[in-house]
């Protein structure tokens, strides 16, 4: 089984090498402080498969030897060389939690920034709902001495695993916190000594039922805290594979006079007719993004800049 998986990954890797490089976008200057040295990963269209059941997906994979989406995630983050043989005991990570539960009502303790970052005066990026943290680690590894990265995650076990990975990587410009962002974001960023330059909210839990919308991470107090603490020129990047969730985030940020969507500042930015960015400007896809695109879903992205 391990041998087969290795063959699949090598097949993916060899196929992707020919497709990775592409000429830089004419709009790259507008996304200057989002840019990273490496190009975004690209995969053959044949790697994407849409089906009505997981059984059909598995059967198709077995017949055509296509990689599974976890294999593509591992390939996307292969540069990190992370160990997946972690001694964490029995780990069961819940996919969804209720942020309104009393167990998540205690604000996270503000860390000693001098202890968690080598230079706490660097511009800060905060990823709200950072998940496993691999997305943020990839960025931190490529931007040493340029920016600090703070990942906030409400599932403690994911934070614990990220901390183990981080110790192996030895990075001094990234930190993870177990925190309910709706409660803790404001006090954390206000205590940070450097400028808040970028905030990302990527594929948050949509909490579909109307009575559960109050559980969504993006509420008006959080929107206000983000905008108030961003430096002029600072940016907010949001995305979701659920249109309803993407529209909710878009509507809340569109109401803020101090924010302008990036395509209004630079018409050369590639967007569709409704203003959704056509590609991820960060240079790396999130894990959820990889899984969703593998299943044929569209990713709805918006990028705002503070005036």
Torsion angle, alpha carbons of 207, 213, 216, 219, to 10: 160
Give the residues across from 254 on adjacent strands.
none
The residue ranges of the chain whose pLDDT is under 70 are: 1-66, 85-96, 98-105, 207-209, 212, 215
Q: Where are the alpha helices (DSSP H) in the chain?
A: 2-20, 54-64, 69-76, 113-116, 134-142, 156-169, 181-191, 220-229, 243-254, 262-265, 287-294
- Can you read off the two tokens belonging to residue 144? 């040493």
Q: Which residues of 185-201 are buried (b: 16+ CB within 10 A; e: fewer)?
A: bbebbeebebbbbbbbb
Residue 212 has what DSSP assignment? Answer: G
CATH number for domain 124-306, candidates 3.20.20.210, 3.20.20.70, 3.90.1720.10, 3.40.50.150: 3.40.50.150
Report, as residue numbers or ranges, the catalytic residues.
205
pLDDT of residue 164: 93
pLDDT of residue 65: 60
Contact 290, 69 (CB under 8 A): yes
CA-based Rg of the chain, rounded to a whole angstrom?
19
Sketch the domain layout of the chain as residue ranges. Answer: 124-306
pLDDT of residue 137: 98
pLDDT of residue 97: 72
pLDDT of residue 34: 64
Question: The whole model's pTM is what?
Answer: 0.78
pLDDT of residue 52: 40
For the chain, the residue count is: 307
pLDDT of residue 107: 86
Strands 196-202 and 124-128: parallel
């Amino acid at each position: 089984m391990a041998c087969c998986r290795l063959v699949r990954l090598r097949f993916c890797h060899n196929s992707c090498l020919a497709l990775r490089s592409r000429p830089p976008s004419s709009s790259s200057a507008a996304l200057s402080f989002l840019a990273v040295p490496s190009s975004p990963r690209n995969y053959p269209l044949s790697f994407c498969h849409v089906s009505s059941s997981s059984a059909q997906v598995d059967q198709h994979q077995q017949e055509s030897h296509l990689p599974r989406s976890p294999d593509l995630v591992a390939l996307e983050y292969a540069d990190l060389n992370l160990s997946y043989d972690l001694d964490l005991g029995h780990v069961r990570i819940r996919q969804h939690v209720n942020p309104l539960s009393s167990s998540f009502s205690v604000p996270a303790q503000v860390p000693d920034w001098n202890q968690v970052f080598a230079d706490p005066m660097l511009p800060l990026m905060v990823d709200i709902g950072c998940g496993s943290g691999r997305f943020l680690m990839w960025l931190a590894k490529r931007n040493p001495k340029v920016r600090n990265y703070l990942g906030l995650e409400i599932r403690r076990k994911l934070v614990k695993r990220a901390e183990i990975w981080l110790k192996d990587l030895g990075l001094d410009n990234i930190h993870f916190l177990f925190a309910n962002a709706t409660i803790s974001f404001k006090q954390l960023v206000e205590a940070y000594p450097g400028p808040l330059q970028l905030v990302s909210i990527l594929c948050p839990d949509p909490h579909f039922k109307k009575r559960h919308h109050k559980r969504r991470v993006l509420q008006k107090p959080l929107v206000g805290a983000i905008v108030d603490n961003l430096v002029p020129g600072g940016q907010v990047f949001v995305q979701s594979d659920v249109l309803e969730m993407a529209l909710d985030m878009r509507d809340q940020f569109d109401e803020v006079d101090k924010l302008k969507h990036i395509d209004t500042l630079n018409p050369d930015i590639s967007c569709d007719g409704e203003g959704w960015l056509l590609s991820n400007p960060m240079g790396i896809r999130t894990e959820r993004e990889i899984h969703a695109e593998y299943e044929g879903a569209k990713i709805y992205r918006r990028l705002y800049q503070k005036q």
